[in-house]
């Protein structure tokens, strides 16, 4: 269609956490075109291949349009009324027979802010259970615990504008060219305009490495040691920013006694012992570049190169990371270690000096981290804190006793509890755990056991709807009003632009309808057309003050987003810097890390520890999993877009060319991958877009036809409880 024939409306992109602003072209009640929003400071008019094709994901032939209920072992169509009645009665019956903690809800970083807020209020405020988790536990929980331990407050201090000021970009295990493509194009754009460098520090070569000025490969898990070696070198060479460290930093060491159920984890407070700079320096003696080079695969020269970049006072440095650091059995630690580097050199909270943790999903930050759809969280604060419970109860208009003070299960444990039978009812929205759970066989069996009742809300059939007792058709993205929050603390609004097909309704309205049937109707908005806006307005009451104020809806309707803290009509670009952040107390100096009681950020002493499972004689390869640019997560939407599906029609296993030669594996040959937990056979990719180093293989997880998570390991970080999808031991053989 011609541009002029279309009505264009703004929205954030449906896919990834970059949060590009898009304009949706509408014609005759359908979304027919997409272009980048030139007014968006995120993407400045650009989109990636997923963004440009995003509206096609709405019109797949097999959209779920009617509720389905299992009767005599078969899914049969039913009315929305009957399906919602059944869900409400099943929840009530389960609570009556087995207690409140026998029901659970599992959501997503693709929930809109109103969806997540409705879920939190329903589960924690109305029913009174903390059995609420979201898939973001699997993708960014370590980033949260990294922030909480180092700064006492979540989410990046900087913003995307840092890219326009930095001289060097160091990517820590982050294939940014495929995972955060529009941001990566901003890096490349800077390199065309001025002299900037991109260093790709990773375990395999990818499209990012090919575009980088330098690719440095490390042995899986040794990023911990290399980060310490960089700190050693910075201190040894006298590159510490002494004034900054003296005024704004404290030093700590911790013990990892943070097993499931301990109070400390849920307070995000590790057993912390204060140390001094000399003790920290002493600890680093184990991490000289020479010692670390012996087992990390990184040369002394390359360790010194990175230390030199961070240590040079004349170079502004951004560090970027995402799943490579977060999906790590020591994910919290490696987050802390990268902050250590920036804190030692004072390269933080100023334009261009920015440790930047990226998120994967469009609202992992906005919904999961900010609304707090995790077992230990409340929209403002944590359930273990009496004052926070009182604050939430007052806004929710529920007795404070309703909100339990103890967290229950994190994601992996929630599925284990379902397997054990402690949880009998689970409602899954906007996520596909029967593709994404690690060590998947174990959790699929749990879902299929008798006596479990699973509700799945989604827009297409998936392996997760296969285990459902009730399937609810959901309205997607611009078929309803909503808000997302992206990686740079930016909240973005979108209005309802088109009608959802059939009986599909928004996830938040599904929750409200069930809540009403259970007798909690007075707690929620009454009008479907305005409920999302009403929920957002109520949510804002939780986020008051200079440290976390959110922009009002009227502002967000008229501009491509605003960054919190939103104070006196303005976004805050750089937190903890008194020049930009109104929450800072000027008397503390230029910087004030107000998340910590003493106003100081923490440099943590974190040792190198080996991975939970490493290759041995029998299982002699590392397996790493991840994404490709064309497909969003489990591919349930993007595989229904012809052009994206044709570009990458199925998953594959990347094999190093030397290994392939030795095993007589050629492009397309079937390769069987086996771990102690399961097996998967996939076509080989040799010398494709990604090339693993010898002894490693890589598999994208988007394809439900090749469930690589049958093979992966469900070991997790003891602090964040985030599993490690990047490292386990496998054997490979040509079939
Ligand atoms: Fe959408 Fe992410 Fe692509 Fe931007 S980079 S267009 S947010 S998928």
Distance CA 541, CA 473 (A): 31
Contacts 24+ apart (CB under 8 A), 683-689: 683/650, 683/652, 683/653, 684/652, 684/653, 684/655, 684/660, 685/652, 685/653, 685/654, 685/655, 686/654, 686/655, 686/657, 686/660, 687/657, 688/652, 688/654, 689/178, 689/206, 689/207, 689/628
Residue 14 Cα: closest atom of ligand 1: 1
50 lines ligand 1 (CB under 6 A): yes
Residue 552 within a domain: no
10 lines ligand 1 (CB under 6 A): no
CATH number, residue 264: 3.40.228.10
CATH number, residue 433: 3.40.50.740
Residue 632 Cα: closest atom of ligand 1: 8
323 known ligand binder: yes
Question: Contact, 452 vs 426, CB < 8 A?
Answer: yes
Do 49 and 73 lie in one domain? The reply is no
What would the mean pLDDT of 713-730 be, rounded to a whole number? 94
pLDDT for 174 equals 95
Do 436 and 473 lie in one domain? The reply is yes
Q: Is the pLDDT of residue 260 over 50?
A: no
Catalytic position from the list 47, 91, 140, 414: 140
Percent of the chain whose pLDDT exceeds 70: 98
Degrees to nearest 5, angle at CA 104 with 102 and 110: 175
271 known ligand binder: no
Beta bridge partners of 697: 623, 655
Q: Please name the residue whose Cα sits nearest to atom 1 of ligand 1.
A: 51
Q: What is the pTM for the complete model shown?
A: 0.96
Do 75 and 47 lie in one domain? The reply is no
Do 200 and 294 lie in one domain? The reply is yes
Confidence of residue 262 (pLDDT cuts 50, 70, 90): low
| Centroid of ligand 1 to alpha carbon of 724 (angstroms) | 25
Do 187 and 335 lie in one domain? The reply is yes
Which of residues 689 and 505 earns the better pLDDT score? 505
Residue 577 within a domain: no
* Residue from 18, 23, 24, 160 whose mutation best tests the ligand 1 pocket (most atoms within 8 A of CB): 18
95 lines ligand 1 (CB under 6 A): no
Do 488 and 541 lie in one domain? The reply is yes
51 lines ligand 1 (CB under 6 A): yes
- Which of 157, 204, 211, 101 has the alpha carbon at shortest distance from 696? 204
Residue 52 Cα: closest atom of ligand 1: 6
Contacts of 285 (CB under 8 A, 6+ apart): 232
Does the annotation mark 231 as catalytic? no
Residue 36 Cα: closest atom of ligand 1: 6
* ipTM of predicted assembly, 2 dp: 1.00
| Centroid of ligand 1 to alpha carbon of 288 (angstroms) | 40
Residue range 630-652, pLDDT digits in tens? 999 999 999 999 999 999 999 99
| Centroid of ligand 1 to alpha carbon of 182 (angstroms) | 6
Residue 22 Cα: closest atom of ligand 1: 6
322 known ligand binder: no
What would the two tokens of residue 351 be? 């334009």
Residue 87 within a domain: yes
709 known ligand binder: yes
What are the b/e assignments for 17-42, b being 16+ CB within 10 Å? bbbbbbbbbbeeeebbbbbbbeebbb
What would the two tokens of residue 202 be? 């990773």
Do 515 and 652 lie in one domain? The reply is no
| Centroid of ligand 1 to alpha carbon of 19 (angstroms) | 6
Does the annotation mark 595 as catalytic? no
Residue range 155-181, pLDDT digits in tens? 999 999 999 999 999 999 999 999 999
Average pLDDT score over the chain: 95
pLDDT for 687 equals 86
Does the annotation mark 360 as catalytic? yes
Residue 89 within a domain: yes
**What secondary structure does DSSP assign to 293-361, as a single string?**
HHHHS--HHHHHHHHHHHH-TT--EEEEESHHHHSSTTHHHHHHHHHHHHHHHT--SBTTBEEEE--SS
18 lines ligand 1 (CB under 6 A): yes
| Centroid of ligand 1 to alpha carbon of 659 (angstroms) | 34
Question: Contact, 18 vs 183, CB < 8 A?
Answer: yes
- Identify the H or E element spanning 52: helix 49-52
Residue 49 Cα: closest atom of ligand 1: 3
| Centroid of ligand 1 to alpha carbon of 14 (angstroms) | 8
47 known ligand binder: no
Confidence of residue 589 (pLDDT cuts 50, 70, 90): confident
Contacts of 18 (CB under 8 A, 6+ apart): 42, 43, 180, 181, 182, 183, 358, 486, 487
CATH number, residue 634: 2.40.40.20
Q: Please name the residue whose Cα sits nearest to atom 4 of ligand 1.
A: 20
Confidence of residue 271 (pLDDT cuts 50, 70, 90): confident
Catalytic position from the list 47, 91, 139, 148: 139
* Residue from 24, 182, 184 whose mutation best tests the ligand 1 pocket (most atoms within 8 A of CB): 182
624 known ligand binder: no
* Count of alpha carbons within 13 angstroms of residue 14, beta-carbon side: 26
Residue 180 Cα: closest atom of ligand 1: 5
Residue 732 within a domain: no
Do 253 and 380 lie in one domain? The reply is no
Does the annotation mark 323 as catalytic? yes
Distance CA 216, CA 674 (A): 28
CATH number, residue 52: 3.30.200.210
Give me the residue label for tokens 């106003």.
599
In terms of residue numbers, what domain contains 702? 621-712
Using the 3D structure, point to which of 19, 39, 59 is the last residue of a domain.
59
Do 92 and 210 lie in one domain? The reply is no
414 known ligand binder: no
* Residue from 12, 14, 50 whose mutation best tests the ligand 1 pocket (most atoms within 8 A of CB): 50
Confidence of residue 265 (pLDDT cuts 50, 70, 90): low
pLDDT for 729 equals 98
* Residue from 15, 175, 486 whose mutation best tests the ligand 1 pocket (most atoms within 8 A of CB): 15
What would the mean pLDDT of 468-494 be, rounded to a whole number? 98
Percent of the chain whose pLDDT exceeds 90: 95
| Centroid of ligand 1 to alpha carbon of 179 (angstroms) | 9
Contacts of 255 (CB under 8 A, 6+ apart): 270, 271, 273
Do 133 and 222 lie in one domain? The reply is no
Catalytic position from the list 17, 19, 50, 482: 50
Q: Is the pLDDT of residue 259 over 70?
A: no
Residue range 42-60, pLDDT digits in tens? 999 999 999 999 999 999 9
Residue range 347-362, pLDDT digits in tens? 999 999 999 999 999 9
What would the mean pLDDT of 14-35 be, rounded to a whole number? 97
Residue 42 Cα: closest atom of ligand 1: 4
13 lines ligand 1 (CB under 6 A): yes
Residue range 535-568, pLDDT digits in tens? 999 999 999 899 999 999 999 999 999 999 999 9
Do 178 and 305 lie in one domain? The reply is yes
Distance CA 160, CA 270 (A): 30
Confidence of residue 614 (pLDDT cuts 50, 70, 90): very high
What would the two tokens of residue 509 be? 């309205």
Confidence of residue 257 (pLDDT cuts 50, 70, 90): low
590 known ligand binder: no
Does the annotation mark 584 as catalytic? no
**What secondary structure does DSSP assign to 558-585, as a single string?**
HSS-EESS-BTTB--SSTTBTTT-TTS-
| Centroid of ligand 1 to alpha carbon of 484 (angstroms) | 13
360 lines ligand 1 (CB under 6 A): no
What would the two tokens of residue 207 be? 């499209």
| Centroid of ligand 1 to alpha carbon of 76 (angstroms) | 36
Residue 191 within a domain: yes
pLDDT for 407 equals 92
Q: Please name the residue whose Cα sits nearest to atom 3 of ligand 1.
A: 48
| Centroid of ligand 1 to alpha carbon of 333 (angstroms) | 29
Do 647 and 541 lie in one domain? The reply is no
Distance CA 330, CA 142 (A): 8
644 lines ligand 1 (CB under 6 A): no
| Centroid of ligand 1 to alpha carbon of 69 (angstroms) | 35
Residue 132 within a domain: yes
632 known ligand binder: yes
Q: How far is CA 691 from CA 277, 320, 332, 627, 661, in A?
A: 41, 21, 27, 14, 14
Does the annotation mark 482 as catalytic? no
Residue 82 within a domain: yes
Tally of domains in the chain: 4
Q: Is the peptide bond before 39 cis (omega within 30 degrees of 0)?
A: no
| Centroid of ligand 1 to alpha carbon of 361 (angstroms) | 10
710 known ligand binder: no
Residue 183 Cα: closest atom of ligand 1: 5
47 lines ligand 1 (CB under 6 A): yes
Beta bridge partners of 6: none
């Amino acid at each position: 269609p011609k541009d002029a024939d279309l009505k264009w409306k703004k929205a954030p992109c449906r896919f990834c956490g970059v949060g590009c602003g898009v304009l949706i072209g509408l014609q005759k009640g359908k979304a027919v075109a997409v272009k980048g929003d030139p007014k968006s400071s995120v993407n400045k008019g650009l989109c990636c291949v997923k963004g440009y094709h995003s509206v096609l994901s709405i019109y797949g032939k097999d959209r779920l349009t009617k509720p389905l209920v299992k009767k005599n072992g078969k899914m049969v169509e039913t009315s929305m009324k009957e399906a919602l009645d059944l869900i409400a009665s099943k929840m009530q019956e389960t609570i009556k027979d087995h207690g409140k903690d026998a029901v659970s809800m599992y959501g997503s970083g693709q929930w809109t802010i109103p969806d997540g807020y409705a879920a939190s209020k329903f589960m924690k405020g109305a029913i009174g259970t903390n059995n609420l988790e979201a898939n973001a536990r699997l993708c960014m929980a370590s980033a949260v615990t990294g922030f909480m331990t180092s700064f006492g407050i979540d989410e990046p201090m900087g913003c995307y504008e840092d890219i326009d000021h930095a001289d060097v970009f160091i990517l820590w295990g982050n294939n940014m060219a495929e995972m955060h493509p529009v941001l990566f194009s901003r890096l490349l754009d800077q390199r065309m305009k001025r002299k900037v460098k991109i260093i790709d520090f990773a375990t395999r070569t990818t499209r990012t490495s090919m575009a980088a000025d330098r690719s440095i490969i490390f042995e899986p898990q040794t990023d911990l040691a290399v980060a310490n070696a960089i700190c050693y070198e910075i201190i040894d060479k006298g590159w510490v920013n002494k004034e900054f460290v003296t005024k704004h930093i404290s030093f700590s060491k911790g013990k990892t006694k943070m097993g499931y159920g301990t109070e400390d984890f849920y307070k995000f407070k590790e057993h912390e012992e204060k140390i001094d700079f000399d003790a920290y320096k002493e600890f680093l003696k184990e991490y000289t570049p020479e010692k670390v080079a012996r087992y990390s695969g990184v040369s002394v020269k390359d360790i010194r190169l990175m230390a030199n970049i961070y240590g040079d006072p004349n170079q502004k440095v951004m560090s970027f990371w995402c799943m490579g650091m977060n999906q790590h059995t020591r994910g919290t630690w490696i987050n802390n270690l990268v902050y250590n580097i920036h804190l030692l050199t004072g390269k933080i909270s100023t334009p261009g000096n920015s440790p930047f943790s990226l998120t994967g999903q469009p609202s992992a930050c906005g919904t999961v981290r900010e609304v707090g759809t995790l077992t230990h969280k409340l929209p403002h604060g944590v359930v273990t804190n009496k004052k926070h419970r009182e604050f939430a109860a007052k806004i929710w208009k529920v007795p404070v006793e309703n909100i339990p003070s103890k967290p229950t299960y994190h994601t992996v444990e929630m599925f284990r509890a379902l397997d054990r039978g402690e949880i009998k009812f689970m409602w899954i929205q906007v996520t596909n755990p029967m593709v994404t759970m690690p060590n998947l066989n174990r959790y699929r069996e749990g879902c299929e056991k008798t006596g479990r009742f699973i509700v799945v809300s989604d827009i297409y059939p998936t392996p997760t709807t296969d285990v459902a007792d009730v399937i609810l058709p959901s309205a997607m993205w611009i078929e309803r009003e909503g808000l997302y929050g992206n990686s740079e603390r930016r909240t973005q609004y979108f209005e309802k632009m088109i009608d959802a097909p059939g009986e599909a309704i928004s996830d938040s309205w599904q929750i409200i309808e069930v809540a009403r049937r259970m007798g909690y109707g007075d707690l929620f908005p009454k009008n479907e057309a305005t409920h999302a806006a009403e929920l957002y307005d109520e949510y804002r009451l939780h986020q008051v003050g200079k440290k976390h104020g959110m922009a009002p809806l009227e502002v967000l309707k008229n501009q491509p987003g605003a960054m919190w803290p939103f104070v006196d009509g303005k976004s805050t670009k750089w937190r903890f810097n008194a020049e930009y952040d109104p929450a800072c107390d000027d008397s503390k100096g230029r910087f004030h890390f107000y998340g910590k009681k003493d106003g100081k950020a923490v440099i943590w002493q974190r040792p190198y520890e080996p991975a939970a499972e490493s290759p041995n004689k029998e299982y002699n390869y590392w397996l790493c999993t991840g994404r490709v640019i064309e497909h969003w997560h489990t591919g349930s939407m993007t595989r229904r877009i012809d052009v994206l599906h044709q570009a990458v029609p199925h998953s594959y296993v990347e094999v190093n060319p030397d290994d392939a030669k030795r095993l007589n594996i050629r492009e397309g040959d079937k390769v069987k991958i086996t771990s102690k937990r399961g097996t998967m056979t996939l076509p080989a990719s040799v010398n494709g877009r990604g090339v693993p180093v010898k002894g490693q293989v890589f598999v994208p997880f988007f394809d439900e036809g090749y469930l690589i998570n049958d093979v992966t390991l469900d070991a997790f970080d003891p602090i964040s409880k985030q599993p490690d999808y990047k490292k386990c031991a496998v054997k490979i053989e040509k079939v």
